[in-house]
Every structure is written in structure tokens, then in C-alpha cells.
Structure 1
Amino acid sequence: MMDVSAFLGVASFGILLVLLALGVVAIVRPIARRLPRAPIVEYVPPEGDLLSHGLLVRADRRLLTAVVTDLAVRGSVRILTPRGSRGPVAIEVVHGARFSAEEWQLLAALRPHRMRARQQRRYVRALAEIGVVVGQVDDAPDVVFVRGPGSFRRHRRHALKNFLDGLRHRVVAEGLARKRPVSIHLVMLSLLFLVTVAFGLLLILGALVDGEWIGAIVVLLTMAALFWVLTLSPPPLLWFTDAGRERRRHLAGLRDYMKLAEQDRIRFLQSPEGALRSPTGELTPTGRIMGLAPAAHAANPAAQSGLDRIILDEKLLPYAILFRQERRWHRELHRLGGAHVSRNVEVLGGTLEGVIAVLDVLVIIGQVLRVTGTVVSFLGRST
């Protein structure tokens, strides 16, 4: 059996690595989540779109959930989830719905455009699991899977990486951020993970020779813990220009508005400064920015005010997800889409956030491996 002192040494080393990794996360996460102080409360999103705003508030891992929720509230997609905690999670495109080019790109990132025969059979089986029985792929509705046998992880990993990289490049091109995101924290955590992997391989080889598995098991548990810590760490951090910081201040004002209690929000919207329509029913400048219809659709001003608030909620609900306020806005989501939409968005959010977290980790680990391999190769040639 393995010597007790050696076992304690391996266990202590593993605990030290995990604590060090948690310390890095504890330092970086507050920096990633901090928004500048807003001079005023805002309830109109700033210039730009939801995708760029998600990067500006460093909510990369919640961005896809916010976009899909926006599409669901607009009636462009349906979110299909199981009754329990397990089972496939899918997104069905509503026939005739309109999407922007980037929204189409996001949906395309979840399923290959051309599937091989094996992938087609797998996709048809996945459709059967959610109650859609078809003979072949051409007869199937437009459904993409986020979780389950119909989710194509290899394609998704590559396509989502390109999608997020493209968004970051666009934010840089718009003059809102500097050229390269900083990912030193992820590189450091990845190095810790790779050191543990290398150490674990040596112990496993030793265990094969001597039949002592306890140390290898401890290292495997440490590897699992480090990978979990990696998924908790923020994604690569964008550094913002003056224009980007100004837009972040506007978004901070929007977040402050969304933190207000329900009755405070209603009073704010009914104030002269916050009204979407004048007493005569004409649109205020803010009402025009929000895209309200110029002509009233309700029988009286009170009912029209209610309709206008629904339109405002529809536009702000995805921002509640970006700002981690979806639980506070649960009632609005329930009213806009019903109980099933509220629950489905919750399941989808947990699934997509996990997908992006793992994607970030795998990308950084791959980059560290490539750099390490290059350095080792260079040293090998120079000796």
C-alpha cells in the first residue's frame, strides 16, 4: 500500500492547487462583474444591440441565453425542455420568423448545415425523444438541440467559438474595446490543470507498476475540482475604450432601473420624465426610441399604458438575464410567456451557460497546450 506520508503529500498538493485556483477566481470575478457607477437611472438601452451589450457588461456566458430568450418572447422560437431535470433541450424555429444575420449564425452554430448519414440518424432519434417522429431529416421541423443526443458538440464547440470571436472583433471594430481580450487568469488556471494532469499520468504509470492506486485517485479528484473551478472563472476580459466605458455607464443605469421594485418602476414610467406617451396619447421621444406604435391600440389610455409596459418588458427581459436579475423578473417572464416559457428559459439558461463555460475552458487549455508544445519543440531543437 501507499506510504501514509506520501499519500498526505499528494493530498496536500492537490488541496493547495485547488485553493490557489479558487483564490484566482475570487480576485477576478468581482473585477469582471463590476460596472461603473451610473450618474442617472436609465430604462432605454444604449446605442447598439443585445449582443454587443452582453460583451460590454462581460456577460459572455449568459449572452446566448439572453438572445434566445429575446427570440422566444418575440415568438420567433419555441424552447423545448423535458418535464424533469434530465432529457434533451431544444430550440424550434417558428415558421416565417425573421432573424438578423447574427441571430441566424447563432442558431446555425448549434447544428451542422449538412449532416452526415450517421448524424442524420442521430438527429432523427433525438427528434423522436421530444415527440417529433419523421422518416428523414428533410421532413423534420427546424429544430436545434442544446442538450441531448441531438446536440453536435464538436460542431458546436468550433462554431460557437467563431461566433463569440466574431462578436469580440465587432466590438473592437466599433471602437468600444481594445484589440485583445486579457485571459491571464484562465491561462494560469489552465497551467495548474495541465500540471495536475501531468502529475496524475506519472502516478497512474507508477500505479500500473506497483499496484498503488490511491495517489492516482487523489490526483484525478484534484483534476476534476480544478476543471470545475475553471468553469467558475470569468471568460477573457475585454478592456474598454472611453466610448465603451461611456456605454457601460448607460448600461449600469439600465441595471439600476431594473433593480427597482415593481411599483417604483410603474411610478417611474408614469412620471413626466419617464412616460412613453404624453397625456394626449402621442409618443414621447423615449417612446419612439423604444419602438412603440404611433397610434394607440387600446380602448383607453390606462389599457394602452399596460400594453406599452408589456412592450418595454419584452425589450428589457433579456437584459435581466445579462444582469443576473432573472429571478427578480420571474413574474414578468411568467406574464409574457406563461409558466412553461418561464420554466423553459430557466432550464435553457443553465444549459447554455454551462456550454459556454466549458467552451471557454477547452479553448484556453488548447491554446496553452499549443504554446507549451511550441516551447518544448524549440528547446528540443536548440539542445
Structure 2
Amino acid sequence: MKRFFFGIVAVMALLVGFGSTAQATNNFTISNYSVDMELGRDSEQRSTLRTKLTITADFPPRQNHGIAPVFVKKYNGHPTHFTLESVTDERGTPLEHKWHNDELRIGNKDTYVKGKKIYVITYTQRDVTKLYHDTGKQEFYWDAIGTAWQVPIQSASVTLKLSPELVAAKRTNLQCYQGRFGSNQRCEVREQGDTLTATARALPKMAGVTVAVGFAPGTFAAYQMSFMEQLIDWWAKLQLVLLAVALILAGVIIVAYYRSIGRRKELEPIPPEYLPPRGTSVTTSAKLVQPFHMVKGSVMAAQMIDLAVRHYIQVIEVKPRTTWRTAEYEVKVIQAPGKLLAEEQEMLRNIFGSSPKVGKRLNLKTLRNNAPYAARVRYSAKQMKGRLTNDYGLQAREPQHTQRFRRYAIIISIFTVLLLSPVLLVLAGMVFCLSFGKVLTDKGLALRRHLAGLKRYIGVAEVERLQMLQSPEGAEKVKIDAADEKQLVKLYERVLPYAVLFGQEKEWSAQLGKYYEQVGEQPDWYSGQGAFNAAAFATGMNGLSSVASSASDYSSTSGGSTGGGFAGGGGGGGGGGGW
């Protein structure tokens, strides 16, 4: 508890430290922020803008290296061809600066500044006007001082100089808004010849100045994408189409992959099966058919019940299930595991930590949050992959499958190169990986068919199950008297692990419980305060399975020139602070 408490304190201290550092770099004042803009047209009648910022900042000692204004380089969804011309002091001396995305850091990281410092930043842009349908004007609606400045500004002024042809053009009066984003508080505006001037009062943090002036439609040529921009735009749209195509193709290819490795065309017909497959463990069965969506329950629970039914272990309920908790179980070894299959012995070693002796007991609750147990399970899962191929001959590499999927990958790769598509590149890589998939051998196909038949038998109604057992085919496969309830109990017990595996344990155990009542017996492989509940046991085992699984994963649409605008509603803008 103490460690937890001190850990929380340490994390909080770090967060506070980071926050205080960020606040400290913005603990200065901009005494004056002057914006001088020149709006004109180029030879193509497209709008041009040249801006000079003069920012006077007052710094405390040993805190800041300089200022870090942030610029918005797009307007109305297109680039404005932002070009930085110069960064100097008031005497024209160049200042050291460096871009960090859209943030321009001015100053030297090894040097602090203090007192009054003046920064002069000059840059150009184009295509800075837009036709607003609500005002019917082509507007220069611009955030001259953005609403994202992290420091207060004591005084601010914006000057907009119009080129001679724009002075002669029909236009509206200059509108100006100041304050935080959304504010419609007006600024003081003056017009003199070709120059429009707006003066703002003191601006708090996160406040700016926006100006707007409208011109008659057709004053400026609309933005036109360059050939390269058109090419990039076309390519981006193509990628969206290819993404949709790739998703469809991926779905089709994955379905084809599972049909190929599972030999789906050869699976039918599937006759009903009444007994578990001989010489195969529940774990192996689960691993084989897991890709085909047949496994719905806990593999661990199914395998443990199988060992219990075969009298290798006994399941002991030590605490019954309540509304608030699952039942608690112990397992007891009642027969030496030497004759079990390798993966069955391995499961017992995983649970007990070593090969258990007869009489040894373990409370399954101790496996929760047990890292060594989880590591053993993870290792066993890796071993199981090799056993299917090398030990049991259920899967194998199949040249025809490999060649087909590599051919698919090559075709997709060709289109990847032609269309320069990263989406198709990912798809080609995925398909190439699928070419390494292992296909069911004849033995593996027979086992899959047997398990599918057993699942079908478990899933039908009891009356139909009895009819199957009494049919000539059923009588040939299972030598029991369907009218003898004791024999039915033994049959149902043997099939119970697979009912758990296929997620059908509730119905199966309910029918098994009825037969127990009719013969007046309880399973000798189970000990508890009531009848054995396979569903409750499977629920408890699901918890352990999830623990092991998680451990295995360590590994603005309106214009502003007619007075309906607001601060922060135009183009340009940005903000900044210190660094």
C-alpha cells in the first residue's frame, strides 16, 4: 500500500513539474504587438499578402530562450504558400530561428534572454481571400493576431495597406474584432488613403485581433490548385478508393485462406459422431479447429473435465457459486499421468509447477495473477503449434496453397507500384504472410470432420440424439443400449468436455444431470456440495484462461466584412508563447 501511495505521489509530482515548466516559459508579457500587412494581386489576379510582425516582449531573467510564434499555413482547406522572408531584431540583425512543425522558435537553446526584446518577422502568402455567400463579397477575413497566444498582450495594432488597384476597387469599410475566440467586441478603426488601421485594447491570454474587408465578386481570382497539388489530391482520393477495395479484397482473401487451409470443399458430407476422437486430446482438437470458429468455450476447462472423466484428476468444489462470486475449485491427482499424451501431461505440470504425484491437490485460485504459471502456459502454446505438424501430422505445408497466395501477393504488388499505394503494400504483405499457412493433412481433415459431426450431434434435441444412437449407423459406431440410462450417463460424460469446448455445456450438462437423477448417482470424478455444474466450472476456468492469455501478450462558414464576424473566425491566426 505504501509503495502504491508513494508511486501515485511521484507521478503527480512529475505531472506538476511538467505543468509548471510549461507555465514558466509563458510567464512573460508582450508589451506591444504590431502587424503590418500589404494586400495585393499578382499577375493572375490571385490575392497576395505580405506581413511584418513586430513583437516587443519583456522577459524575466533565466527563463526564456526567446519567443515561439505558431503560424497557420492553410486557408479554406488549401495551402497559402507561406514563405518566411526574414527574422531579425529592430536593427535588422538576423536572429537564430528553427521550425518545429508550424512553430517558429526564435533564439538560442543555450542562451537566455531577459528584459525588453524586439522581434521582427516578415513572411508572404497568397490566396488569402474567399467568396462568402452570406455577404456576397470576396473577403479578406483574417486573424491578424491569433487567439492562441499563451501570454497577455498590453497593446496591439493592425495596419492593412491596399495595393493601388485595390484602393480603386469597390469595397466595404474595415471591420475589426478583438478578444477570445467567438468574441464580437469591436476595435477602433481608422482609414487614411490606402491604409486601414485597427487598434486593440489590452488582450488577455488566448485573445486576438481579426480584421475583415469585403470586395466585389471577381476582384480576385479564385484559388486554383497547381498541377502537383492536383496530382496529390487525385492520389489521396485514389487511396480512399483503394482502401475500400483493399478491405473487400482482404475479406475475400481471408475467407479463401481459411477455406484453403481447412480444405472446406472436401469437408462434406459430415456424418454425426457420438464419441470423442480416439488418440487425440481436447487441447489438440481445439488447436486444430480454432481457426474455423468452432471453439466457443474454455479449452482449459474442457481439458480438465476430460481428465476428470477419465479418472486422472478429481474436481473438488470448495466454495459454491454465489451471486457475487464464481465457485472455487481444487483439483486432486488420482492417477499417475504417465500414460497421458504430451500436451495433457504438460497441462498438469503447468498447473502444479512440476509433474504431480497421486494425491496432490491444488486450489485453482492460486493460478490467478500467477506469472510463472502464465509463462508456462505461453511456452506450451508455442510447443502445441509444432506438435500439430511434427508429432501428429495434422497440418503440413502445401505447395499449391503457397504458390497460389504468393501469386496473389505478386499481383497486388504490381498494382502497388503502379498506383504508389501504401494501402495495397500492406495488403500484399498480409497475403504473402498467408502463403506460409499450413494446410490440413488427410488425417487433419478427418479429425476436423469428426469434430464437426460431434458438434452437430451435441447440438440437436435429446429425442433426435436418441434416434441417432438407435439408427443402424449409430449402433455401428457406439455399442450401447440407448434405453439404458447408466450407459447413457457414461456416454454423455465422455462427450461433456467437447460440449464445453463448443460452448454447448449448459444444455448438455442439464441433460446429463437428469440422467444422474434417474440413475440415483453423482459423478465419481467430482466432489461438491451439490450437483456438478459444467457451465459454472467453465466460467471459473475462463477467468484463468484470460489471465494466461493476457500474460502471453507481454510482449467558419460566414463572412465578417459586413459586421457579423468575430475574433478568431478568419484565416491566418495561430498563437504562441515562450520557450
State the TM-score, normalized to the length of structure 1. 0.51
Quote the residue 1:100 is aligned against. Answer: 340
* Residue aligned with 2:319, SS: coil
Amino acid at match of 1:362: A
| Displacement of 1:326 | 0.5
Q: Are residues 113 and 152 of structure 1, via their aligned partners in 2, closer, same or farther at CA, if it must alter by over 3 Å?
A: farther
Equivalents in 2 of 1:259, 1:311: separation in Å?
18
Partner of 1:207: none
- Mapped to 2, the partners of 1:95 and 1:242 lie a distance apart of 36
Aligned to 2:492: 313
Measure the CA separation in 2 of the matches of 1:169 and 1:60. Answer: 23
Aligned partners of 1:52 and 1:314: how far apart in 2? 19
How far is the alpha carbon of 1:90 from its aligned partner?
3.3
The structure number with the bigger radius of gyration is: 2
Q: CA deviation at 1:361?
A: 3.5
Q: In the alignment, is the contact (CA less than 8 A) between 1:61 and 1:356 conserved in 2?
A: no
Alignment partner, residue 440 of structure 2: 241
Choose the corresponding residue for 2:288, options 29, 33, 56.
Answer: 56
| 2:274 partner amino acid | Y
- SS at structure 2 position matched to 1:328: helix
- Answer whether contact 1:110 1:155 (CA < 8 A) is retained: no
- 2:80 is the alignment partner of 1:80: no
- Cα separation, partners in 2 of 1:86 and 1:78, compared to 1, 3 Å: same
SS at match of 1:44: coil
Paired positions, count? 239
Q: Is the 8 A contact 2:277 2:447 kept in 1?
A: yes
CA contact (8 A) 2:270 2:453 kept: yes
Q: Which has the higher helix share?
A: 1
- Deviation string 1:254-281 (CA, Å, 9 cap, x unpaired) is 1111111111111111122212xxxxxx
Three-state SS of the structure 1 residue aligned to 2:544 is: helix
Q: Is the 8 A contact 1:56 1:248 kept in 2?
A: yes
Contact 1:81 1:347 in 2 (8 A): no
Conserved in 2, the CA contact under 8 Å of 1:90 and 1:143? no
Pairwise CA distance, 1:109: 0.8
After superposition, the C-alpha distances for 1:309-346 in whole angstroms (9 at most, x for unaligned) are: 22221211111011110111122442363883533x43
1:203 equivalent in structure 2 = none
Q: 1:264 to 1:242 in 2, by over 3 A?
A: same
C-alpha separation in 2, matches of 1:329 and 1:311: 13
Spell out the pairing of 1:189-208 with structure 2 (5 A cutoff): none
| CA RMSD of superposed structures (Å) | 4.1
Q: Compared with structure 1, are the counterparts of its residues 178 and 358 closer, same or farther at alpha carbon in structure 2 (3 Å cutoff)? A: farther
Show the counterpart of 2:274.
43
Cα distance between partner residues in 1 of 2:482 and 2:467: 14
C-alpha distance in 2 between matches for 1:151 and 1:362? 11
Query: Offset at 1:111?
Result: 3.0
Query: Corresponding residue for 2:118?
Result: none
Residue 249 of structure 2 corresponds to residue 70 of structure 1: no
Structure 1 stretches lacking a partner, 5+ long: 6-22, 115-137, 180-237, 276-283, 293-300, 367-383
Paired residue for 1:109? 350
Q: Which residue matches 1:214?
A: none
Does the CA-based 8 Å contact 2:297-2:502 persist in structure 1? no
Structure 1 residues 241 and 153, CA gap change in structure 2 (3 angstroms) = same
Q: Please say if residues 302 and 501 of structure 2, whose CA atoms lie closer than 8 Å, have aligned partners that are also in contact.
A: yes
Cα distance in structure 2, aligned partners of 1:95 and 1:269:
32
Distance 1:61 1:358, change over 3 A: farther
Contact between 2:395 and 2:438, CA under 8 Å: does it hold in 1?
yes
Query: Scaled by the length of structure 2, what TM-score is found?
Result: 0.35
| Separation (CA, whole Å) in 2 of partners of 1:52 and 1:103 | 9
Partners of 1:111 and 1:152 within 8 A in 2: no
**Alpha-carbon displacement from aligned partner over 1:283-312 (angstroms, at most 9, x marks no partner):** x5x246xxx7xxxxxxxx676x33332222
Amino acid in the other structure paired with 2:544? V
Aligned to 1:274: 474
Give the direction of change, closer, same or farther, for the CA distance of 1:56–1:351 in structure 2 (3 Å limit): same
Aligned amino acid, residue 342 of structure 1: F
Q: Secondary structure at the match of 2:276?
A: coil
How much does 1:151 deviate?
Answer: 5.1
In 2, the alpha carbon distance for the partners of 1:160 and 1:60 equals 19
In structure 2, the gaps of 5 or more residues are: 1-18, 20-147, 149-180, 182-246, 398-436, 517-521, 556-579
More strand by share: 2
Mapped contact 2:375–2:551 kept (Cα < 8 A): no
| Larger RCO (CA under 8 A, 6+ residues apart) | 1
Cα distance, 1:46–1:92 mapped onto 2, change above 3 Å: closer
Partner of 2:548: 359
Contact 1:61–1:357 (8 Å) recurs in 2: no
What are the Cα deviations for residues 207-235 of structure 1, in whole angstroms up to 9, with x where unaligned? xxxxxxxxxxxxxxxxxxxxxxxxxxxxx
Overall identity of the aligned pairs, in %: 24
Cα distance between partner residues in 1 of 2:460 and 2:492? 13
Match of 1:258?
458
Q: 1:88 to 1:261 in 2, by over 3 A?
A: closer
CA contact (8 A) 2:482 2:488 kept: no
